[in-house]
Amino acid sequence: MIGSSVVAAFPTAGGIYSNKYFLAGKDEHLVTPGEGTLQLGADGILAEYSNGFLTMLFTLTLSKEQYAKADVIFARGPPGDETTGRIPQHSNYYKSTIDWAEGGPPEEEDDTFTQAHGFLMVLVWAVLFPAGIIAARFFRHLDPRWWNLHRGFQGVGVFFFVIAWLLGWKAEGKQEQGMLAHLAFAFLLPIMVIMQVLAAVFRPKKDAENRPKWNLYHHWVGRSAVVLAIVNIYVGLYIYEAESSAVAAFTFVWILVLIVFVGLEWYWRVRGPWSVGYSSPTEIDMQSLNGKQREGFLKL
């Protein structure tokens, strides 16, 4: 928005203050009242505040570059200072395109990038990466199939994550609140993914002295990344103002994954190998189990 010209109004004790502004920067003192490139009509700005709604009426002469379509932002924030005309930063906003010839927004806004970004992130963090974690935690006895599953899920997940991350820079939110947190995660999560990829490439041998430390690092960085990503997806849905059905669908998928994980955890601890002395799946292989155990709780 820096470099743009705007029209703003806010209620005061004596009525309504309205003016045009030039946005020279993000700081309040750089938002200059009475300036800007907007060519308002002779009547200026008429404004009314009633029942919590602020309405402005003005005429605007457009330049050739602004017709027949122009990008506009509708912002809302706390009232300004009627003495100086200064206004604080807005708290949320909505960005759209106005078709001046039609007198409103286009019939359908193209949010393909945003939807593709969200769908792929849900696929990666609620399906592919959790499936890879489940394969590594509960199916070590199926060597080497567990490793092929783990590597496959994580590899495909990384591929789609890169695509989704790039699409994110083309995606557009419908409000500013929560955007800073979403962007912070957008920088943190790729770092964690890269850490996991490097850990897989430079993993020590199974009998190496530092292998237990590597296991701890690899396991918890991956699990932490999934949890943080799930939180960030909810933030993204909030910014996009997604429909409740989309939020419910994502929640359903995530709860289903949790049920599978908790169910397998319970099985291994109560009826599976952990219940007879094995402390973790990494200690188990099909050759070390006797026939009774193999048929009893590891028959797949």
Query: Which of 80, 101, 82, 107 lies closest to 91 in space, CA to CA?
Result: 80
Whole-structure pTM value: 0.62
The pair of structure tokens assigned to 182 is 């979403």
**What does CATH list as the number for 112-297?**
1.20.120.1770
Tell me the pLDDT band of 299, cut-offs 50, 70 and 90: very low
Range 229-251 average pLDDT: 91
Tell me the C-alpha distance between 131 and 138, whole Å.
Answer: 11
pLDDT confidence of residue 103: 63
Work out the mean pLDDT of the chain and round it to a whole number: 81
pLDDT on residue 232: 95
pLDDT at residue number 161: 97
Give the confidence band of 65 by pLDDT, cuts at 50, 70, 90: low
* Mean of pLDDT values over 153-181: 88
Q: Are 273 and 284 in contact (CB under 8 A)?
A: yes
CA distances from 189 to 118, 168, 225, 264, 284 (A): 15, 13, 6, 27, 32
- Predicted pLDDT at 292: 39
pLDDT digits (tens, 9 = 90+) for 125-159: 999 999 999 998 888 878 788 899 999 999 999 99
32/107: higher pLDDT: 32
pLDDT value at residue 193: 96
Report pLDDT digits (tens) over 66-100: 666 777 777 878 888 878 878 887 777 767 777 76
pLDDT at 294 over 60: no
Tell me which amino acid residue 147 is: W
Task: Give the tens place of pLDDT for each residue, 6-51.
Answer: 888 888 888 888 888 887 877 777 787 878 777 888 788 888 888 8
Dihedral, CA atoms, 10, 11, 15, 19, nearest 10 degrees? 0
Tell me the C-alpha to C-alpha distance, in Å, between residue 258 and each of 72, 266, 272.
42, 12, 19
pLDDT at residue 289, as a whole number: 44
Tell me what pLDDT residue 241 has.
82
**Residue range 187-206: mean pLDDT, rounded:** 93
For residue 97, the model assigns a pLDDT of: 74
List Cβ neighbours of 133 (8 Å cut-off, separation of 6 or more): 222, 223, 226, 261
Please provide residue 98's backbone torsions phi and psi, each rounded to the nearest 5 degrees.
-105, 130
Q: What is the pLDDT of residues 253-275, one digit of tens each?
A: 999 999 999 998 888 777 665 54
Arithmetic mean of pLDDT, 206-227? 91
Q: What is the pLDDT of residue 14?
A: 80
Query: Residue 194 pLDDT more than 50?
Result: yes
What confidence score (pLDDT) does residue 77 get?
80
Q: Are 182 and 235 in contact (CB under 8 A)?
A: yes
Predicted confidence at residue 98, as pLDDT, reads 74
The answer to whether residue 165 scores a pLDDT higher than 90 is yes
Domain ranges in the chain are: 5-99, 112-297
Higher-scoring residue by pLDDT: 287, 134: 134
Instruction: Give me the percent of the chain exceeding a pLDDT of 90.
Output: 35
The beta strands (E) that lie in 78-174 are given as 92-99
Higher-confidence residue of 156 and 246: namely 156
